[in-house]
A = this chain, B = another copy of it.
Amino acid sequence: MAANTLWLNETLPEITHTPYETALAEADAAVWFPKRICLDRLDGAGEAYTVSETADSCIISGNDAGLLYGVYAVLTAWRAGRPIPVGHHAPAYALRMLNCWDNMDGSIERGYAGRSLWFDHDRVEYDPERIRCVASSLASVGINTVCINNVNVHESALSLIDGQLDEVAKLAALFRAYHIRLLLSVNFAHPYIAGLESADPLDPAVREWWAKRADLVYAKIPDLAGFLVKADSEGRPGPYTYGRSHADGANMLAEALEGHGGVLIWRCFVYNCRQDWRDRGTDRPMAAYEHYHPLDGQFADNVILQVKNGPFDFQVREPISPLLLSMPKTNLALEVQLAQEYTGQQIDIYSMPGMFRETWDTMGSERIMAAAAVSNLGNDRNYTGHPFASLNLYAFGCFAWDPASDPETVTRDWIHLTYPALIPGDADRLLELLMRSREVYEKYTTPMGLGWMITPNTHYGPSPEGYEYQAWGTYHRADRNAVGIDRTRKGTGYTAQYPEKLQDLFENPDTCPENLLLFFHRLRYDAVMRDGRTLIQRLYDDHFEGAEAVAKMAEVLQCLPFPQEDAQVIRERIQAQIRNAQEWRDVINTYFHRLSGVDDARGRRIYD
């Protein structure tokens, strides 16, 4: 962020200095800036910085990248009323990536904040001012890599490494000023589409095609981070077409990038999306591990496997993906989704800092060497649809730099930066609301790891059996007695994919975290929870409480003095969230009431 304006919500002045000089000049112009900042520019590689202070000065030292991050860190701390972050700071991961699912026609797959900021009419098209605003905001939280195009690479996007390459290079230059490198999604079948007889990774002609293509691309964009690939997934082409392994496919592309210092990022979102719902021998969460665990150690050094945080697909709550814990000889990137595809679509409030904390706590940061987030950006005035959704982007940057980040501090900092006019009591109320928002959404939608009761295709609103007879492998198999899939060793055996400690934890309904009970276990409606309630009563209670909590959130928001433009969006969206929460509450409660025949113990209204 530029520290004296709203985060992600500004028009920056023309840049005449380095970005950190600009940020300092702006901060300098503001009254609140208490100490003189001295910059000590060092040579050398890396992104680290050191902060020290004297009575009237704060000294930041580092190379250009380090100074950039150091200046933003110091300004943020001051703005948030925290002490100057004295000491040496280096990022946990070299790659802190945003993955944008932008299409060349200007649409964004699962985008909820307007249209693409850099594509339209099947070509690269943008407003440089808005790119600078986004780039400075990303840089201010340490994001240093942006994949600009959808992982589903449609034909028109092939031009990004072909006819549109010069335009991509110009865009790359805009981001480069903020120490951000571009990454490009490529289509595994590109050589075949371009006229070769196959896209077989072991075909020398294919290898040569990719090598030459990489040479062309790096001649224009020498600091490109590399390529991102979604292969053999949901209809995308891949090595399986040619009877090759994913190691064959990834290594072939990695070889083309190696001489240029590029990495090949390979998404591990592979599963059977044509499952027969009758088939109980296939359990979709097991798919990624089954595909990739046997390949551990076979990937080249500049290959990174990018793994979603959970084994399904960005549901409201999932256990950690076992693949993240079982590839000791492979470079891994964690992938999270900021775009609220299944979590309210930037209409409903759903803050992610707590989820990031849980994720990193469970996986142990030492196994991961990069972090990627599916972007929630678009060309809406406020960039993220709901003004609060920018917190998730901000927080992702914080955690990707420092996985030990504290959710409350991150959220509080974002509030100070974004709504500096809020008095402390109001900031506290907003903090509490945001911190609780994920649990609230979870309660009125699919609590306890239930998942997949959302409307197919649109992924907004309830549809309790919408996925039940579909080919996506996402079933809860609720009947008149029970709900959920037994994923223990006695069931599908999914728990066996975890290290022993987690295995034991999840295996037993008595030790399994209650918020994941229905992910791992099939339970009868009369099963007794740890607090003595039955499962069915817990389901009813959660839905009533969740909807009620949204109504209370609306009351809180009504009283907080947001800037006018934000206020209107916030007011409209909380009303939509109230309706959505009521719909979820009533549909899910009615669904389980019709199945179980059990009335609410507290006599609240359940429609029949």
A residues lining the B interface (CB < 8 Å): 277-278, 462-466, 469, 477-481, 586-587, 590-591, 593-597, 607-608
Contacts and interface: CB of A to CB of B under 8 A. Distances in A.
Contacts of A594: 477-480, 595
B596 A480 contact: yes
Top 6 closest pairs, chain A to chain B, by CB? A479-B594, A480-B480, A465-B465, A278-B607, A469-B587, A480-B597
A586 B277 CA distance: 10
A479 B607 contact: no
Q: Which of A480, A586, A591 has the most CB of B within 10 A?
A: A480
20 contacts: A277-B587, A277-B607, A278-B586, A278-B607, A463-B469, A464-B465, A464-B469, A465-B591, A469-B587, A469-B590, A477-B594, A477-B608, A478-B594, A479-B595, A479-B597, A480-B480, A480-B594, A480-B595, A480-B596, A480-B597
A608 to B, nearest CB: 7
Contacts of A464: 465, 469
Contacts of A596: 480
A590 B478 CA distance: 11
Majority secondary structure, A binding face = loop
Given A465-B465, A477-B608, A479-B594, 12 more contacts: A278-B607, A463-B465, A464-B469, A465-B591, A469-B590, A479-B593, A479-B608, A480-B480, A480-B596, A480-B597, A481-B597, A594-B595
A466 B470 CA distance: 12
Nearest to A481: B597
A481 B587 CA distance: 18
Nearest to A582: B278
Contacts of A462: 469
Contacts of A591: 465
A339 to B, nearest CB: 24
A540 to B, nearest CB: 16
Contacts of A608: 477, 479
Contacts of A478: 594
A284 to B, nearest CB: 17
A290 to B, nearest CB: 23
Nearest to A594: B479
A463 B466 CA distance: 8
A466 B463 CA distance: 8
Contacts of A463: 465, 469
A595 B465 CA distance: 13
Contacts of A465: 463-465, 591
Q: Which of A464, A590, A593 has the most CB of B within 10 A?
A: A590
A465 B466 CA distance: 8
A257 B248 CA distance: 73
A595 B597 contact: no
A326 B479 CA distance: 44
A546 B590 CA distance: 31
A471 to B, nearest CB: 11
A353 to B, nearest CB: 33
A591 B481 CA distance: 13
Nearest to A480: B480
Q: Which of A278, A469, A591 has the most CB of B within 10 A?
A: A469
Nearest to A457: B457
A481 B479 CA distance: 12
A585 to B, nearest CB: 11
Nearest to A595: B480
A7 B594 CA distance: 51
A590 B480 CA distance: 12
Contacts of A477: 594, 608
Contacts of A277: 587, 607
Contacts of A481: 597
A596 B466 CA distance: 20
A375 to B, nearest CB: 29
Contacts of A469: 462-464, 587, 590
A586 B594 CA distance: 21
A608 B483 CA distance: 12
A583 to B, nearest CB: 8
Nearest to A593: B479
Nearest to A478: B594
Nearest to A607: B278
Contacts of A587: 277, 469
Contacts of A597: 479-481
A278 B594 CA distance: 13
Contacts of A590: 469
A479 B462 CA distance: 18
A479 B593 CA distance: 8
